[in-house]
Amino acid sequence: MRFATRLVPARIGELGAANAYVEACAVAAGLDARTRFGLQLALEEAFVNVCHYGYPDGPGDVAVTCETDGPRFVLEVADWGPPFDVLALPAPDLTLGVAERPIGGLGVHLIRTLARDVEYRRDEGRNVLRMMF
């Protein structure tokens, strides 16, 4: 069951709007609080990536889609920016100490950890990140 797609401007300040939409879908789908926490976190990481890197040449939108696939809840975050597969980014070294740890690079790692499965595809001029919970 596909809920709907919500278009949100790709700005950090709009995170709350994207969040409210996904939270409403997650509650409607009957997800428990723990899964909703992970969903919220994965949404933020995917949404913020688009805000920071998705549209180097100006403003743009993020399309947030929720659907259920049998027992699974699926969250898609899409943008119309240049082709970019966030899943191709290297995994961070989680064993480094404070001094050696680079700042950043944890967002995609959190998505991979939180979602049961995550896929990237380029689809009709869009980058689509599909996260299954």
Binding site for other proteins (CB under 8 A): 12-13, 15-16, 34, 37, 40-41, 44-45, 48, 51, 92, 94-99, 101, 103-104, 106-107, 109-110, 113-114
Contacts of 133 (CB under 8 A, 6+ apart): 31, 35, 38, 39, 42, 72, 73, 74, 75, 114, 115, 116
**What tokens appear for 26 in the block?**
């997650």
The least distance separating other proteins from the CB of residue 21, rounded to whole angstroms, comes to 16
CB of 9 to other proteins, least distance (A): 14
| 90, 46 Cβ separation under 8 angstroms | no
Cβ distance to other proteins smaller for residue 117 or 123 = 117
Nearer to other proteins, 109 or 126 (CB): 109
